[in-house]
Amino acid sequence: MSADRKYLSVAARAAARRPDQGDLETAVYSALADAGDLDSSYIFVIARGRDITLAGWVHMKAEVSLAEEITLRTKGVRTVHNELSPDL
């Protein structure tokens, strides 16, 4: 196998394991929307690689940590920067 083919096969496997940033944002949005005890209407998700930033507002203080837990359980997420604020 040539060096170029070997590199391409390694790169292809790495890409297959790592979701695209847009796909990861979509996956997090979906996970948050599917949570029955969380209103994610005002949560904004930004992906940088596998690191996610949550920004926006939630109705109750408990939803701040719930959103972070849901995001961490989403496949492909490495870290969460939680900048959510409860709408007091």
Q: What is the mean pLDDT of residues 54-74?
A: 97
What's the pTM?
0.76
**Is residue 2 pLDDT above 60, yes or no?**
no
Asked if residue 4 is part of any domain, the answer here is no
- CB-CB contact of 38 with 57 (8 Å): no
Asked if residue 76 is part of any domain, the answer here is yes
Instruction: Give the per-residue pLDDT at 19.
Output: 59
Q: How far apart are CA 88 and CA 86, in angstroms?
A: 6
* CATH code at position 40: 3.30.300.130
Asked if residue 53 is part of any domain, the answer here is yes
Going along the chain, which residue ranges are E strands? 43-48, 51-58, 79-86
Q: Which domain holds residue 66?
A: 18-86
**Residue where the block lists tokens 């979906």:** 30
Q: How far apart are CA 50 and CA 77, in angstroms?
A: 5
Asked if residue 69 is part of any domain, the answer here is yes
Q: Quick one: what percent of the chain has pLDDT higher than 70?
A: 77
Task: Encode pLDDT of 28-63 as tens digits.
Answer: 999 999 998 999 999 999 999 999 999 999 999 999
Asked if residue 5 is part of any domain, the answer here is no
Asked if residue 10 is part of any domain, the answer here is no
Asked if residue 1 is part of any domain, the answer here is no
Considering its fold, how many domains does the chain have in total? Answer: 1
Q: How far apart are CA 67 and CA 32, in angstroms?
A: 7
